[in-house]
Structure 1
Amino acid sequence: MVRALVTGGNRGIGYAIAQGLIARGVDVVIGVRDAQAGAAVAETLGCAWVHLDLEAPETFDPAIAAAGDIDILINNAGILIEDSMIDNPDGLRRSMQVMFHAPFDLICGVLPYMTRAGAGRIINLTSGWGTYDEGMEGPGGYGVAKAALNALSYALPRDLPSGVSVNAMCPGWVHTRMGGKAAPRTPEEGADTAIWLALDVPGDVTGKFFRDRQEKAW
């Protein structure tokens, strides 16, 4: 059975991605920062969970070991710090850790199995705020961190083994704790393209950026 690790899978878009993958027959493991909350959500979903705090790199290797052989990695978890990068430089550092360094470290962690299997899919949840084409908007260091993740998604295919793909996707403005109540999209709508990339697109599609199943400019 295909196994997926979804970071931040206990709520919002991550929960919807996990739920959608499970409905498609995927063996899902959610990575959660809060173990108690994660265990309760995993029971509701009917999946496994691992303690994975993206600001605590010491949790990465144990989480990957506990999750087992991962065929699909979905780097979903993120943070939104709205402070000025100058006034709060630590906010930028935290944004980079959660939305760039941690996803890269997790990719490195699951890659040995994907290499042996000769197949694997990596999906990075990003934002139009992190694209030059859309003006690098957004508050604080959010767009900068997402731009770094976009650059990684674009460049990494040259270093990945045959059969392993990486793509980025923007879920749009979604009604979650981060997106706020005014957001027009449901978590399920935001999750759709990630599930599509994980299960439906050809394996040789890599290094691309998508929104609503359509390729977009970086």
Structure 2
Amino acid sequence: MSQASHSIRTALVTGGNRGIGLETCRQLGRAGLDIVLAARGPARGRTAAQELTRQGLRVRGEELDITDGGSVRACAQRLAEAGIEVDVLGNNAGVYPTEPFFSLDEETMRQSIDVNLMGAFRTCRTFVPEMIRRGYGRVVNVSSGLGAMTDNVPSPAAYGIAKAALNALTLVVAAASPSSVKVNAVCPGWVRTDMGGEWAPTTVERGADTVSWLALLPDDGPTGGFFRNRSRIPW
């Protein structure tokens, strides 16, 4: 998967081996992008990448643990050595702790912050500078309305706090980047995935739709926004 032609963009999606991440890889692959399907578990990542390759998509599986800065940098180095430039970054990997605040232990809180916030911090710090240098980039942070502070308290506690912080990170990275690099957050809704559960009302195809839409924004598209169903929503 070479980046010889800049007409073909490359998207890296974290947590790409299942759920919204896998469907985002599928949708962006069908839209003509090369895909780097990043997963913490290399075997799961390879299996998912092979599934999409059999569907005729151009997919490269990569091991990437977003809780480990060394793993993020090593992935970036492997891609650079292969001549692959990341044009689109989908920060999808996440965890969903549900404990009420006074039942919440420090380790669970730390894990939520490390995955849901610091994971995106690490990948943005690693991949966005090159987007800025090349004059093109799209960053999509998969957040949640449960992290919005406009009309509700962020909840469940560890998850909501981390997603509220991810929304803040979205604004900070957008402000630090030129308009050629679009940085947005998305609430995919309550989606029928392993995390969302079988009773969730939203299909994974619908949940990934706005993620893919933001990943493919035109030059005059928005940046620094929070979206659900392709429409801006309050923070």
TM-score > 0.5 by shorter chain: yes
1:193 is aligned, of 191, 210, 217, to: 210
Deviation digits for residues 115-166 of structure 1 (CA, Å, limit 9, x no counterpart): 2211101000000000012313422300000000001112322211341110
1:27 to 2:34 alignment = yes
Equivalent position to 2:94, from 75, 78, 81: 78
Q: CA deviation at 1:203?
A: 4.3
Aligned to 1:117: 134
Alignment check: 8 A CA contact 1:169 1:211 kept: yes
1:18 to 2:35 alignment: no
Q: Please list every run of 5 or more consecutive structure 2 residues that lacks an aligned counterpart in the other structure.
A: 1-7, 54-58
- Per the alignment, residue 64 of structure 1 pairs with 76
- Which one of the candidate residues 5, 9, 17 is aligned to 1:2? 9
Deviates more, 1:166-175 or 1:153-162: 153-162
- Give deviations 1:85-134, integer Å, cap 9, x for gaps: 45411111111111111101101111232122111010000000000123
Please state if 1:169 is matched with 2:181. Answer: no
TM-aligned CA deviation for residue 211 of structure 1? 0.2
Over 3 Å counting, the alpha-carbon distance change for 1:60 and 1:203 in structure 2 is: farther
Question: Which of 169, 172, 178 is the equivalent residue of 2:195?
Answer: 178
1:44 aligns with 2:51: yes
Give how far 1:202 is off.
4.1
**In structure 2, how many angstroms separate the alpha carbons of the residues matched to 1:17 and 1:2?**
15
- 8 Å contact kept, 1:9–1:31: yes
Number of positions where the alignment pairs a residue of Structure 1 with one of Structure 2: 218
SS of residue matched to 1:153: helix
2:93 counterpart SS class: coil
Letter in 1 for 2:71: T
**CA root-mean-square deviation:** 1.4
For 2:89 and 2:99, how far apart are their aligned partners in 1? 30
**Corresponding residue number in structure 2 for 1:99:** 116
Contact 1:5/1:31 (CA < 8 Å) preserved in 2? Answer: yes
- Report the Cα distance in structure 2 between the residues aligned to 1:116 and 1:80, rounded to whole angstroms: 35
- Name which of structure 1's ranges 64-73 and 22-31 shifts more when overlaid on structure 2: 64-73
Amino acid at match of 1:15: L
Q: Taking structure 2 as the reference length, what is the TM-score of the superposition?
A: 0.88
Q: Aligned in 2, Cα 1:54/1:193: closer, same or farther, shift over 3 Å?
A: same
Q: Does the 8 A contact of 2:88 with 2:137 survive in 1?
A: yes
Paired with 1:55 and 1:155, the residues of 2 have a C-alpha distance of 20
CA contact (8 A) 1:32 1:52 kept: yes
* Paired residue type of 1:52: L
Amino acid at match of 2:16: G
Match for residue 125 of structure 2 among 108, 115, 121: 108
Q: What is the TM-score normalised by the length of structure 1?
A: 0.95
